[in-house]
Structure 1
Amino acid sequence: MATTIDGGRPASDSTRTGLAQADLFGGERHGIAPRAAWQGVASPKRRHTPAAPNPEGAARLLDAHDDYRVLRRLKPRPVDSAYRRVPGQGIALLVDVETTGLDHRQHEVIEIGMVAFAHDAEGRIGPVVGVLGMLHEPKGEISAEITRLTGITAEMVTGQAIDMSAVRALVEPADLVIAHNAKFDRAFCERLDDSFRHKAWACSVAEVPWRDIGFEGAKLGYLVHGCGLFHNGHRAVDDCHALLEVLARDAAGATPFSHLLRSSGRTRVRVWAERAPFEMKDVLKARGYRWSGGDDGRPKAWWTEIDEDDFRAEVRFLEREVYMREVELRRDVLTAYERYRAV
């Protein structure tokens, strides 16, 4: 039998649902009590005080449903101004720069973001101990494309300059500098100040096995969303805060930062397959080798990076599968101090 309201007029399903359900944020729809709505009885006249909104309760309700997934705004961790370094703890520094272009030899930094944090030897992340975000007015122009990518305009940077003493205050105590594409950021940072040049660097794109720990890609925005968060992307200090949360998340029983810390402590070898036969290019590509065109001061040759302990096995592979003879290969030994450094 159809439920009726307003003196016998049939109620639609949507009307019944709307009247009978409490509001998702804690209040009742239209101020009509669910029981009164179903019985066709007008609510008694009384002062109605709506319940205080409860966004987190609503988010949890949606998260529990298979058809929804909620993203929460990333809230930066506060700086522990009372922090004092203790034995066994290290300091890692997340760095991100926004620039006028991709070539560190001709383009300039227009923004730098940095977040320093403490950690233990197992890769457990402790308190944030320093944060810096600064704009810088370049000598050249900021193109419309750079503004589209970063949100930074010429008006925003007019008269702005990076305080290098503040930068050095965070760089000098750091044991490890981390960037989400260290090959790019290290080159610009070293041009910005020599304090970056003598530090160990790690790359959170290349040195974390993202696919193995449940992520399908390594772009920062994707990783942040995969952690159930969203943030103001492509602003330097915001990206550093976001990267910290991604590195701190438990994934397959370990944090991504613990993978990164172990990787940064290993010695790697860059193997150069110089003068490899052209017809072997597909074999090399399948092995993971990449081509260097020689325009950056490095050899014009195929190359790969491997752990130091795997070098002899790699030589044997090249001798049997590529050169068909014994060879003396060029190799560059790389620790975290040399890795990602620009030529």
Structure 2
Amino acid sequence: MAYNYNRFPLELIPEIIAHPEDYRIQSRVPYARFADEQVLPVIFRETPEPVQSLVFLEMVTTGGRRQDVILELVMVKCSCLLSTGEIVSVDRMYRGFEAPRYPIPAYITRTTGITVESINGMSFDYRTVDSMLRDDPIIVSTRGRTAREFFERRFSSFSGYRWVDSVHDIRWENLNDRLISGATLQMNCERLGFFFRYNSIREAVFSNLWLFSYIKGSIAELIAASSHVEYMVWAFTARFEVKEELKFNGYLWNGEQKCWCKRVFTEEEVKEEQEYLRGKCSSPEAIKIEVLDSRKKHG
């Protein structure tokens, strides 16, 4: 029997009653309705206290290659208290489309419903995007580095913002034992008993925002992640014969810079890597250290 998965199968209630152990009921993410209704802004609480602006961002692209482009962009702006992390308002949403210069892959159309015809002649509203970012918000996305690369390639003047990868930068398992760091947004919502339409990035944006409002301490972790510092160790002119050893020790070849690099997280690790590389590069000057904060590290 074929089911419409967008509605609850009422005809199965007798079977559910007879065998409840074989079924599980999930609720739609509460904020997902904001994707359907023109209800913004939503003010949860008026407050004179200082607030931090957040922009939750998701996108649909034609693929993951450098030459691919953004087809759909959704940005939702909200405000949270710096003192407690409480989200006090969901302020506005921008949803835009942009027609590509070449055909949209069939699998993208099957997943999203976006066709060349449906977005023909459309382009993103630069002024609206600019207004969403004018007060230097923290940008939050489930796609982290990839989203940032696509966004800054399309909007080159909007670089240098703080970005947080909500999948990998938040230690979800420390905040709730039912959640997993590195798990998809869909999986973590399901582990809490909620679902959203995963093929709608509008629902994904609001569901990500809801998860942060639902899990105590997650906004504080997000703000902390936005100021977290990492380090990139660059090894220029490393001897050819040590390349396998470098790979074994976690170094990656950077084709653009023509050198080896490794990301580390403490000053002590930086010192250890500098000492490790001294005999493998042509000179101490060939070892460079780049400090990465959230304005750089996902770029």
The structure 1 residue matched to 2:74, chosen from 108, 113, 117, is 113
Specify the alignment match of 2:223 in structure 1.
261
Offset of residue 278 of structure 1: 3.7
Specify the alignment match of 1:72 in structure 2.
27
The structure 1 residue matched to 2:102, chosen from 140, 144, 151, is 140
Specify the alignment match of 1:232 in structure 2.
197
One-letter amino acid of the counterpart of residue 217, structure 2: A
CA shift digits 1:81-126 (9 cap, x unpaired): 679884521101011111112234x222110001111112243322
Counterparts of 1:236 and 1:248, CA distance in 2: 18
One-letter amino acid of the counterpart of residue 92, structure 2: G
One-letter amino acid of the counterpart of residue 75, structure 1: P
RMSD of aligned residue pairs (Cα, Å): 3.4
**TM-score, normalised with respect to structure 1:** 0.67
**TM-score, normalised with respect to structure 2:** 0.76
3-state SS of paired residue (1:95): strand
Alignment partner of 1:173 is 2:135: yes
One-letter amino acid of the counterpart of residue 73, structure 1: R
1:1-343 equivalence runs, <5 A: 69-76=24-31, 77=34, 78-80=39-41, 86-104=48-66, 106-121=67-82, 122-213=84-175, 214=177, 215-216=179-180, 217-250=182-215, 254-255=217-218, 257-273=219-235, 275=238, 277-281=242-246, 283-284=248-249, 289-294=250-255, 297-308=256-267, 310-315=269-274, 318=276, 329-341=287-299
One-letter amino acid of the counterpart of residue 41, structure 2: D
Counterparts of 2:81 and 2:75, CA distance in 1: 20
3-state SS of paired residue (1:160): coil
3-state SS of paired residue (2:102): coil
Where structure 2 has 5 or more consecutive residues not aligned to the other structure, the ranges are: 1-9
Offset of residue 312 of structure 1: 2.9
Offset of residue 73 of structure 1: 1.3
CA shift digits 1:236-272 (9 cap, x unpaired): 322211111222232xx622x3222101112221123
Where structure 1 has 5 or more consecutive residues not aligned to the other structure, the ranges are: 1-24, 30-58
For the Cα contact (< 8 Å) 1:99–1:108, is it kept in 2? yes
3-state SS of paired residue (2:265): strand
Counterparts of 2:266 and 2:50, CA distance in 1: 26
Percentage identity across aligned positions? 21
3-state SS of paired residue (1:301): strand
For the Cα contact (< 8 Å) 2:197–2:204, is it kept in 1? yes
Counterparts of 1:75 and 1:331, CA distance in 2: 45
Structure of higher RCO (CA pairs closer than 8 Å, 6+ residues apart):
2
CA shift digits 1:21-66 (9 cap, x unpaired): xxxx9xxx9xxxxxxxxxxxxxxxxxxxxxxxxxxxxx9x9xxx87
One-letter amino acid of the counterpart of residue 289, structure 2: R
Counterparts of 1:85 and 1:220, CA distance in 2: 30
Counterparts of 1:168 and 1:90, CA distance in 2: 17
Counterparts of 1:188 and 1:134, CA distance in 2: 15
For the Cα contact (< 8 Å) 1:93–1:174, is it kept in 2? no
One-letter amino acid of the counterpart of residue 118, structure 1: S
Counterparts of 1:282 and 1:164, CA distance in 2: 42
3-state SS of paired residue (2:30): coil
Counterparts of 2:244 and 2:101, CA distance in 1: 47
Offset of residue 310 of structure 1: 4.8
For the Cα contact (< 8 Å) 1:266–1:307, is it kept in 2? no
Structure 1 residues 82-91 or 217-226, which shifts more?
82-91
For the Cα contact (< 8 Å) 2:98–2:119, is it kept in 1? yes
For the Cα contact (< 8 Å) 1:90–1:174, is it kept in 2? no
